[in-house]
Amino acid sequence: MSRPSRMARLGALALLGVAVASCVDVPVQSLTPTLAPTPEPTPVTTTYQLGTTVWYEGLLVHVDSATATLDKRGGPVEVSLRFENPGDNDAELNARILLQVDAGGTEPPVAPTRDSKVPIAPAHGTAAAVLIYELQRVASAEKAVLLIGEAPNHVARIPFTSAGGEAVVFEPVELVLSGRGDARNLRITLRTGLLRWDLPDYSQELAADVEVLTLTYDVTYLGSFTGGFAFTGDNVALRLPDGTLVEARPDGHSQSIELIAAQQTKKGLFSRFEIPSGTTGKLQLVVRSGSATKGIRFTISG
């Protein structure tokens, strides 16, 4: 083979080698380092032993505990409650039970999930429930407050910790009272008082600006008429510290009506009066018989 032919053949083989090499993948080193996957945040579970009882709509709502399972994204808060019904009829709490995440914040309270149900409490019995609240972007429940009720009615507050402020439970206040008032032929002897913020016989919570005072007393008819004395709400009233005269609630449940025989006493009669919330000072149960009146003084302390 001549030298020119040999050189041409070698050139062709070289070109073929370059072509083949260009078809082979050659690994290329990345300029960006591979990052490890970001770990998911670990939820923290905190249980708050609340052990608080609220008197609301005639029920005793026992708020036993709350368990929060939260990370920076939020999570569920489960609240365990028991609804005790001292009444003679089955009853259900009508008020909403909401969770205020930050007692000092402006965010609206959170409602429980749709699967959370408030049970009917049987007469003289108790029913348990767990309410679940799903929080978003909340990592702590330290300032959380459970709210029972909404404006314009009274609202109970059960803080998870002291950071949530003071509890408001509306426990009835019993007043030990005494005193006697005679108006003509009618005598009333005052025995006790009771302050409440609900009407148990109606399963109703009162508006935030009022409370009810029930006064219990004995009534004696001092006269001799054989037909007796027809005692009604016309024979009593309540005078407030500012002088306002209040009649018993005209609801059919708030005033004793009795026929009292001559020289006889009916014990344990009562009148229920609606008064402004926070009323304190000197009051009077006013005894009325015809044009004669007599006040029985007593005091509600602050």
Dump pLDDT digits (tens) for 19-59. 444 444 555 555 566 666 667 778 999 999 999 999 999 99
3-state secondary structure of 207: strand
Q: What is the C-alpha to C-alpha distance for residues 267 and 29, in angstroms, rounded to an integer?
A: 100
Structure tokens at 203: 């399963």
Q: Where does the chain have alpha helices with state H?
A: 3-22
List pLDDT tens digits, range 110-159.
999 999 999 999 999 999 999 999 999 999 999 999 999 999 999 999 99
Which phi and psi (to 5°) does residue 241 adopt? -55, -30
CATH of domain 173-300: 2.60.40.1240
Q: What is the C-alpha to C-alpha distance for residues 102 and 145, in angstroms, rounded to an integer?
A: 7
pTM listed for this prediction: 0.85
For the cut 60, the answer to whether the pLDDT of residue 77 exceeds it is yes
Cite the beta strand spans of 91-206 per DSSP E. Answer: 97-100, 125-136, 145-148, 156-159, 173-176, 180-183, 186-196, 198-199, 204-205
List pLDDT tens digits, range 205-242.
999 999 999 999 999 999 999 999 999 999 999 999 99
Structure tokens at 120: 């009917």
CA 298 to chain centre: 32
Give which of 138, 117, 139 is closest to 128, Cα–Cα: 117
List pLDDT tens digits, range 264-276.
999 999 999 999 9
Question: Which pLDDT value is given to residue 41?
Answer: 79
For the cut 50, the answer to whether the pLDDT of residue 70 exceeds it is yes
The owner of tokens 């009604």 is 232
Q: What is the C-alpha to C-alpha distance for residues 164 and 248, in angstroms, rounded to an integer?
A: 38
Q: What is the C-alpha to C-alpha distance for residues 15 and 11, in angstroms, rounded to an integer?
A: 6
| One-letter identity of residue 74 | G
Res. 104 pLDDT band, cuts 50 70 90: confident
Instruction: Specify burial of residue 40 (Cβ count, 10 A radius: 0-12, 13-18, 19+).
Output: exposed
Question: Which pLDDT value is given to residue 16?
Answer: 45
Asked whether this chain's domains 44-164 and 173-300 adopt the same fold, the reply is yes
Q: What's the topology of domain 44-164?
A: Immunoglobulin-like (2.60.40)
Which phi and psi (to 5°) does residue 150 adopt? -145, 160
Q: What is the C-alpha to C-alpha distance for residues 6 and 211, in angstroms, rounded to an integer?
A: 118
Q: What is the C-alpha to C-alpha distance for residues 60 and 131, in angstroms, rounded to an integer?
A: 17
What value does the mean pLDDT take over residues 89-101?
97
Which phi and psi (to 5°) does residue 139 adopt? -100, -5
Query: Count of residues for the chain?
Result: 302
- DSSP state letters, 44-68: EEEEEEEEEEEEETTEEEEEEEEEE
- Under 8 Å CB-to-CB from 163, ≥6 apart: which residues? 103, 142, 143
Q: What is the C-alpha to C-alpha distance for residues 272 and 293, in angstroms, rounded to an integer?
A: 19
3-state secondary structure of 227: coil
List pLDDT tens digits, range 153-196.
999 999 999 999 999 999 999 999 999 999 999 999 999 999 99
**DSSP secondary structure code for residue 141 in this structure:** -
**DSSP secondary structure code for residue 146 in this structure:** E
The owner of tokens 């939020």 is 74
What are the residue boundaries of the structural domains of the chain, listed by start?
A: 44-164, 173-300
Q: Which helix (H) or strand (E) holds 119?
A: none
Which of the two residues, 28 and 204, has the higher pLDDT score?
A: 204
Q: How open is the CA angle 259-263-264, to the nearest 5 degrees?
A: 50
Helices and strands (DSSP H and E) totals, the chain: 1, 20
